[in-house]
Structure 1
Amino acid sequence: MSVQQSFLRDAMRKLNLTREAFAGRIGVTRRALDSWLLPIESQEFRSMPEIVERFTSEILQSSALEVNTQSVHHVISPAPISFEGRPQLISVEQFSRESAEALFRLADIMQPIARRQKISRVLEGAVLGNLFFEASTRTRVSFGAAFCRLGGAICDTTGFTFSSMAKGESIYDTSRVISGYVDAMVVRHPEQGSVAEFARATNIPVVNGGDGAGEHPSQALLDLYTIQREFSRLNRVVDGMHIVFVGDLKYGRTVHSLVKLLALYRGIKFTLIAPPSLDLPSHILEQISKNGNVVEHTSSLTSGLIGADVVYATRVQKERFSDESFEGYTPEFQINKALVDASCRPDTLVMHPLPRDSRAGANDLSTDLNHDSRLAIFRQTDNGIPIRMAIFASLLGVDNQVAHSMRDAAWLPPRYIGPDDAIFHGID
């Protein structure tokens, strides 16, 4: 992403305006604004006139919002991510709306690196410990790739069987020992609250990669970042949106984190669709019923999806169940193309934290939506890299160095990462 794009996106976030409204506010046509927001490699990309930059900066300044009006090359650092006084990320409850959006500004700066167009080595010499005591593909590889793209190296461990914790070692001992080997840790553990224990045993940065049925903060951040980016092209803002959550809301830690983040916004309508045994925990329901937000429950997918801006599907977290039953989660809970066509608008976003169960008969997000432009799951996963890069840069204190450290990539990346991505090219 160019500095120009970052500046304009940041201005729209700060003013909380859609593209249409922002274009009107700065006195340009929507077509001109769209051309300034395109990727540099797009044939329709245009440079923003300096007078527009100055005028936009004046608007931001008059709105009593922090901005450097001298140069768009200035990077405003996000507030330090802190857990109990240490640079650690354990819960989305560490964020305010402003600090989350500041992190998104840093993620915007990371986009050219995430898209393999630029290289940065601000973390050269640093080592990440990826401690995954529970199965993971996306989260583990994504965190590792993000650290590597900033020049760092990784040490991986996966599963209890291959760890000393299988021999009875405590979380405290494991954390203290590993922190002597690495400069940051990402920890996934099946017990809720366990990652906070890891964090309290060390002063190095620790990131929660998922703690049982607790939270998954980096997933929620990339989900909200994705919603904002998608809404930008759809001429919407997060305030006042309607989001539908479908599936395992009791044990789905991605849902727990995302609804808490969204509750920082105003006028959100949450529609929760799950059988009674998989309802969202009551203490989280209390947290999200503020800022004029509305929460409704329904067991009907057909009626619940009507009017949705975003449909967020999840799989049943079978690994979280002991003697409980999840009766009532029937094939009617599957999100498929026929249902989306019947109940959703042409511009509704369909999201999923993945993995999804793609086997025949699974009550999950159907693969028949794979070629539907409303399906945003792969754009979600792609956004995980710049978000996690931003998290590492912030925690390790190199956030102000990234923009000035970039150089062109020497290899030739594919124009589109996936074979179906071309439809979205040029609509950033």
Structure 2
Amino acid sequence: MSPHLLSVDQLDLDRISTLFSLAQRMEPIARREKVCRVLEGAVLGNLFFEASTRTRVSFHTAFSRLGGSVCDTTGFTFSSMAKGETLTDTARVLAGYCDAIVMRHPDLGSVSEFASAINVPVINGGDGPGEHPSQALLDLYTIQKEFKRVGRPLEGAHILMTGDLKYGRTVHSLIKLLTLYPPLHITLVAPAGLEMPTYLLSLAEDRGHKIELRATLHENFEPIDVVYATRIQKERFTEEMVENFAGVTDEYRVNKAFLDQRCTPDTIVMHPLPRDSRPGANDLSPDLNQDPRLAIFRQTDNGIPVRMAIFADLMDISSDFDKHLAPVSWRVPAQYGVNDTTF
């Protein structure tokens, strides 16, 4: 088994089940009911060459809640790569400092190149338009938890993905994971030029899933179980693409009207975040903020136990961490957000 997590292609249903069982065991630590020191003395290198809030802080938090310490570095300016150092040289140096490394980089395949030089576990925190395996795992974990809450199986579910499906690495990894399960109905809605890569469509169809392509959300759909919205990633656009997209209005804006007209009371609304909440943005509307179907913050909360499970698996502590548990000694709020839904 590889010491790294670079792609969801490394995962099968047994490995996913193992990781999710670990994540469930991590829940009391993630919910701040228990303290764990199993990784005391271990150091994580958080190596982010591209902007990040959730992924970077989530991995930092997950490692810290297992008792480890974290060294953060962000951007090329503060890296020796700005002086011409290679990825493999940087990898070997950091392997001498750290016990695990999370890396995000704007170039496709860069994290794999980095990991190929070392034996210290490396986790892909996003490589350009490529993959984001830990995000896909927490997304799938969220879907399974939410489906269990409403009492429906994953098999046969209708999942709608919309937004930037070309550059949105989260949907690339998620659709790969979803296709490992019994047949699903997956509807993909994207602007022209931002469609899901054809190799992923072929993969899903070859595995027996129903794939439906739509050009706009202003259509009728079969009842939708999951809406997965993504931000239009203009930072990856060419100048011509920016001009072409300027004429698009609200065809891809997921709002309360869309949910009320085309979804059900049990539909789950997800987003990898950040969402663009500015007026006119083709993204997830803030008018859903009071809607219990909006699962985006339950989704981000799930990132902590899932990423703790990844560390436990890669660092081989899954059988030991229970021995290191103790009650927390500080006050923990019953709800993290003032508007969090109570079920």
- TM-score (structure 1 length as normaliser): 0.78
Question: What are the ranges of 5 or more consecutive residues in structure 2 without an aligned counterpart?
Answer: none
Alignment of 1:377-392 (within 5 A): 377-392=296-311
SS in 1 for 2:265: coil
Greater mean alpha carbon deviation, residues 305-314 or residues 89-98: 305-314
The aligned counterpart of 2:5 is 89
- Picking from 294, 313, 320, the partner of 2:210 is 294
Distance in structure 2 (CA, Å) of the matches to 1:402 and 1:285: 40
Q: Distance in 2 between matches of 1:330 and 1:98?
A: 43
CA gap of 1:108–1:348, structure 2 versus 1, over 3 A, is: same
Mark the CA change 1:304 to 1:95 in structure 2 (over 3 Å): closer, same or farther: farther
Taking the aligned partners of 1:136 and 1:419, their CA distance within structure 2 comes to: 25
Aligned to 1:8: none
Mark the CA change 1:324 to 1:258 in structure 2 (over 3 Å): closer, same or farther.
Answer: farther
Aligned to 1:375: 294
Give the distance between the partners of 1:275 and 1:292, measured in 2 at CA: 25
Structure 1 distance, partners of 2:115, 2:81, is: 16
Q: Counterpart of 1:302 in 2: which secondary structure?
A: coil
Q: Does 1:316 align with 2:232?
A: yes
2:159 matched to which residue of 1?
A: 243
Q: For residue 291 of structure 1, report the CA deviation from its aligned partner.
A: 3.4
State how 1:186-265 maps to structure 2 within 5 Å.
186-265=102-181
Moved over 6 A (4+): none
Structure-2-length-normalised TM-score: 0.97
Partner in structure 1 of residue 321 of structure 2: 402
Partner of 2:218, secondary structure, is helix
> Partner residue of 1:269?
185
Shift of 1:389: 0.2
Aligned to 2:271: 352
Letter in 1 for 2:304: I
CA contact (8 A) 2:249 2:280 kept: no
Contact 2:292–2:341, Cα closer than 8 Å, also in 1: no
Deviations 1:73-111 (A, max 9, x none): xxxxxxxxx43xxx1000001001121121100000000
1:345 maps to a residue whose letter is T
Residue 414 of structure 1: aligned partner = 333
Structure ranking higher in strand proportion: 2
Q: CA shift at 1:404, angstroms?
A: 2.9
Tell me, what secondary structure is at the counterpart of 1:177? helix
The residue identity in structure 2 corresponding to 1:245 is M
Q: Which residue of 2 aligns with 1:117?
A: 33
- 2:143 is paired with a residue of what secondary structure? helix
CA distance in 2, matches of 1:268, 1:206: 32
Residue pair 2:39, 2:66 contacting (<8 A) in 1 also: yes
Q: Secondary structure at the match of 2:193?
A: helix
Distance 2:183 2:220 in 1: 18
Over alpha carbons, which structure has the higher Rg? Answer: 1
The residue type paired with residue 206 of structure 1 is V
State the percentage of identical aligned residues.
Answer: 60
Determine the C-alpha separation between the residues in 1 that align with 2:341 and 2:263: 23
* Preserved contact between residue 88 and residue 205 of structure 1 (Cα < 8 Å): yes
Counterpart-to-counterpart distance in 2, 1:123 and 1:319: 37
Distance 2:87 2:65 in 1: 29
CA deviations over 1:124-151 (Å, ceiling 9, x no partner): 1000000000000000000000000000
Measure the CA separation in 1 of the matches of 2:145 and 2:105. Answer: 30
In structure 1, what is the Cα distance between the partners aligned to 2:195 and 2:189?
A: 8
What CA distance in whole angstroms lies between the structure 1 residues aligned with 2:207 and 2:251? Answer: 32
Provide the residue aligned with 1:9 in structure 2: none
Partner of 1:67: none
Kindly indicate whether the alpha-carbon contact (under 8 Å) linking 1:192 and 1:214 is maintained by their aligned counterparts in 2.
yes
- Tell me which of the two structures has the higher relative contact order, counting C-alpha pairs closer than 8 angstroms and 6 or more residues apart: 2
3-state SS of paired residue (1:331): coil
